[in-house]
Chain A
């Protein structure tokens, strides 16, 4: 029996290649993500152990605001000189030095553009001289206040050299000019540690620009005397300094810091795995179809086996064995390809992050395990249904032509309907009753399965209707009839395409609705000019609060409001907070009226919250909020007004004075309201001149602002489209596969058609029509389901600012067009095959 299975598998290897390919692609995605993240995380490990290689114990101030890993880095409190003196005096301490190193030093390169990316930090630090890790390559360290040294990675990226004058942006919102007096690299001839850019100032300059205070440090680097263990030293330092400080050994600090990046990588990995999951889900459809068709084609063979004594379980076993073999082979190939892809992506990541030294390529055990589990489970699950069907083939089918009657679709339609209903219920609870993302995801998944089961019933009328477009020619008519011939097969093939298209359409609906909502929101604001930075790193570019006053003085300007934002701890919870230069103009600019209290004035101890936040936290006018900002002590603010949610600047708006204690004590956004009748173009250059000292900050009109926001959303959409392309590619493979198998199945029939005079070109046209009908049907389903899902999400997010529901018609039409094209492409190989049929051979074919 096993031998019969193997032989039959070998004889049909071509047919199984395509279904195997679907698994290969999915597994490749899975293995690739694991290999990529593993390689990167080991590379980070080695960087951090290098960074702390000179450190026995490191001391940092406790952060005042705890921040979730995914929202950003917590900013530690500054350490006064006195703490260093205390540590230095301890026995066992050989040396204690104050270190200044903070993210947010952006150098402007020789082309006038900021150097850096969203990835690795841009550190501004004090020059501490050379050591085993840091080595000067050229020049010397900075000694004067207008001198800096930069690492070679940064110098190369910014195309600057020793002796050049460059601008650097720091906490101080203006660009400051410095002379580069030296460049440095790291042991092992490295130009950068993991792509981190470093700008080294003199100590006082670093304190002022990076920490915002003179005489303070971000950490203390402690070296033990010979014979003192880092552990023992850590205990000593910790007890000497007390609870306000975090004291760690160098090894612990390296592990901790690496862990932060690793959890970000883990998150990234999960996103990739999510997309891999989608691809595999689509793959399941493809495999189900392949196995079903193979089983259908083997009906006689299986019936013969049953007639000569094979039991049901043996038939099931034979189909499942086949699945296990296909799954195993596909897993092996997928794992291999995944390792390749992972290595390639790691290489690209290191290239684009400016030279992350990659730890050697590694294949973590989880990659291997996941590959095989996923590959095998997916294939076997997909083969279960066809295997059961195979076992129900009656032995009598081996005799002549016992037509297996078309099983009625009632049952599967019922199941599909019930599943869809459950899916909608899940979605409803998940979206509208805040049931959580898992419910939504489950609902979406179930929707796909439910609709897939409804597809056979839908396929009859819809395919009939679609096919009518092609019915003017005989081959077109034959193609249409063929695609309606086996509703289940057509349905599964189309459903596979539906999943990918539905997801891109859904995201498309959300994105286009977000765009119109933004445009609407922007237009409703009575601010003709917006001052805003182009973010190129983890920190938003800022401008000085003084700019607001200067802008107000420009003729034609009626009002200006500047906004700063940060994360803070409010009543013990992490919250986004804003601080505005002046609350008075806001109602005028937004056209808003207070929900309660007053929103047009704000005392130094008062806070204005929006209606949503007030509802969520039970705040009302008079409530007192305890707020801890990045710097300074805790403050208590009394709620003085509640603003309407869609017309407020943030949920929690602190008074202007609070800004000084923000991570970046400067403005990141400004609204300029002009006098009625003033031409925007006449004012714009004058305001631009005010922020000219920061090349990253620009003054734009409403249209440009909307376009910029849309542009960012479009980027997200494109990324999602790229990641979902794999799922769509697998669906295309499915169409090719179904057609190829149908062509083989209909060899006799095709031979007959050819014998009675159907030409080659006409044969090819017939197959192409069949393919186009199937793929357009799938895309139609996808567009409908995707639009529904997207609209549901948009409606659920109405309170979050999704005021408009806009369907991306042009993209939808594009998807349908692409689907038709996909059909044509998918038909190429099968139709060539059909056209090449030897007429005599086909008729004699047994």
Chain B
């Protein structure tokens, strides 16, 4: 019902950087945070989760966010995705100014421009894998693009699991279904919060590989929060958070490089605690 009035989709071909919802292919920024502050509670119970974070996520780039526990990773992601409001500062997704949007605007944003992969509870237990994957489209009242759907399914290697319920799938398979779901709607940016946190290294590698491929092959933009240096090494760029602020950044990381930075970060963080 809310589908009415949406812009007509550009016919998708599967080339790099060409996606349906994209307004102007030339704009290289998929998401942006400008001096974002997030304060929880007040008085005694006041917690400053983010202290003036400014960060830009380029289109077609796979970014990992790392940092010690409690450093504000999830909070930053929630604020970027419009799931949570910021106390100060501004967030943009593509051309859209997220800060100040009402519920209807945020709903439209999630429907059209943002995809999510959570650590757990990604799927509706009552729906089959296929139905779960197509759910964002059916909520938006959009017709799936069969060719794109087949491509996605092939990439995540779920062809023979489509009829299964989440309970009948392994954890890794469930996360791949979640990835497929995030991808099938071709959002501006996919946010993933520790998508491999619950998986063994083999299944985790599968999922991460798939995420990286979707960036390389289809130009998808992905922002992923993780604790795992190996997972972070799949990304093109790693941002390090400590105490609610961006403290460091790495490009084309390897696990060792990431581990090294993390150690440096962790030491003073432990002390402050």
Contact = CB atoms under 8 A, between A and B. Distances in A.
B26 interface: no
B127 A4 contact: yes
A286 to B, nearest CB: 24
Nearest to A309: B111
B73 to A, nearest CB: 12
B38 to A, nearest CB: 13
A670 interface: no
B115 interface: yes
A301 B124 contact: yes
Interface string B113-131: 0011011111111110001
Interface in B91-143: 103-104, 107-108, 110-112, 115-116, 118-127, 131, 135-136, 138-140
A3 B131 contact: yes
Contacts of B116: 307-308, 398
A226 interface: no
A311 B84 contact: no
A10 B124 CA distance: 13
A480 interface: no
A396 B139 contact: no
B78 interface: yes
Contacts of B74: 399
A307 B103 contact: no
Given A314-B1, A398-B121, A399-B74, A308 B110 contact: yes
Given A308-B185, A309-B136, 20 more contacts: A3-B131, A3-B138, A4-B126, A7-B124, A305-B135, A307-B110, A308-B115, A308-B116, A309-B111, A310-B111, A311-B104, A311-B107, A312-B104, A312-B107, A396-B83, A398-B116, A398-B118, A399-B119, A400-B119, A400-B120
A308 B181 contact: yes
A339 B133 CA distance: 46
A729 B231 CA distance: 58
A139 B229 CA distance: 111
A521 interface: no
Taking residues whose C-beta sits less than 8 angstroms from the other chain, chain A's interface range is 20 to 34
A394 B85 CA distance: 11
A310 B116 CA distance: 13
30 contacts: A1-B139, A3-B131, A4-B126, A4-B127, A8-B126, A10-B126, A304-B121, A304-B122, A304-B124, A305-B124, A305-B135, A307-B110, A307-B116, A308-B136, A308-B139, A309-B107, A309-B110, A309-B112, A309-B136, A309-B139, A310-B139, A312-B107, A314-B139, A395-B83, A396-B78, A398-B118, A399-B118, A399-B119, A846-B121, A846-B125
Contact of A306 (B110, B124, B126): B110
A647 interface: no
B180 to A, nearest CB: 12
A394 to B, nearest CB: 7
Interface in B157-194: 181, 185, 193
A748 interface: no
Interface in A294-322: 300-301, 304-314
A11 interface: yes
Nearest to A307: B116
B7 to A, nearest CB: 15
9 A-B pairs with least C-beta separation? A309-B111, A11-B126, A396-B83, A7-B126, A311-B107, A308-B136, A309-B110, A310-B139, A8-B126
Nearest to A305: B139
A400 B138 CA distance: 25
Question: What's the dominant secondary structure at chain A's contact region?
Answer: helix
Contact of B78 (A1, A311, A399): A399
Interface in B5-40: none
Interface string B72-87: 0010001000011000
Contacts, number: 90
Interface string A1-16: 1011001101100000
Contacts of B120: 400, 846
A11, A395, A846: most-surrounded residue (chain B CB, <10 A):
A395
B146 interface: no
B136 A312 contact: no
A314 B83 CA distance: 18
B126 A399 contact: no
A363 B123 CA distance: 47
B2 interface: yes
B94 to A, nearest CB: 16
Contacts of B78: 396, 399
B110 A4 contact: no
A394 B107 contact: no
Nearest to A394: B83
A11 B139 CA distance: 20
Contacts of A314: 1-2, 139
A1 B115 CA distance: 17
A396 B84 contact: yes
A396 B118 CA distance: 11
A310 B136 CA distance: 8
Given A306-B107, A396-B84, A399-B193, A313 B118 contact: no
A846 B104 CA distance: 31
Contacts of A7: 124, 126-127, 131
A652 to B, nearest CB: 69
Contact of B140 (A8, A10, A307, A309): A309
Contact of B1 (A306, A313, A400): A313
A310 B107 contact: yes
Contacts of A3: 127, 131, 138
A319 to B, nearest CB: 15
Contacts of B112: 309
Contacts of A308: 110-111, 115-116, 135-136, 139, 181, 185
A309 B138 CA distance: 10
A738 B116 CA distance: 34
B83 A399 contact: yes
Contact of B138 (A1, A307, A312): A1
B18 to A, nearest CB: 22
A390 B111 CA distance: 18
Contact of B121 (A300, A309, A310, A395): A300
Contacts of A312: 103-104, 107
Contacts of B103: 311-312
A314 B84 CA distance: 21
B2 A311 contact: yes
A304 B140 CA distance: 14
Nearest to B167: A846
Contacts of B107: 306, 309-312
Contacts of A301: 124-125
Contacts of A846: 120-121, 125
Contacts of B135: 4, 305, 308
A313 B139 contact: no
Nearest to B194: A400
Contacts of B111: 308-311
B218 to A, nearest CB: 19
A395 B124 CA distance: 14
Contacts of B104: 311-312
Contacts of B181: 308
Nearest to A310: B139
A304 B107 CA distance: 12
A307 B81 CA distance: 9
A310 B131 CA distance: 15
A4 B118 contact: no
A321 to B, nearest CB: 13
B1, B119, B193: most-surrounded residue (chain A CB, <10 A):
B1
Given A308-B136, A394-B83, A400-B119, A8 B124 contact: yes
A307 B84 CA distance: 11
B110 A395 contact: yes
Contacts of B185: 308-309
A396 B136 CA distance: 16
Nearest to A400: B119
Contacts of A10: 126
A404 B201 CA distance: 33
Contacts of A307: 83, 110, 116
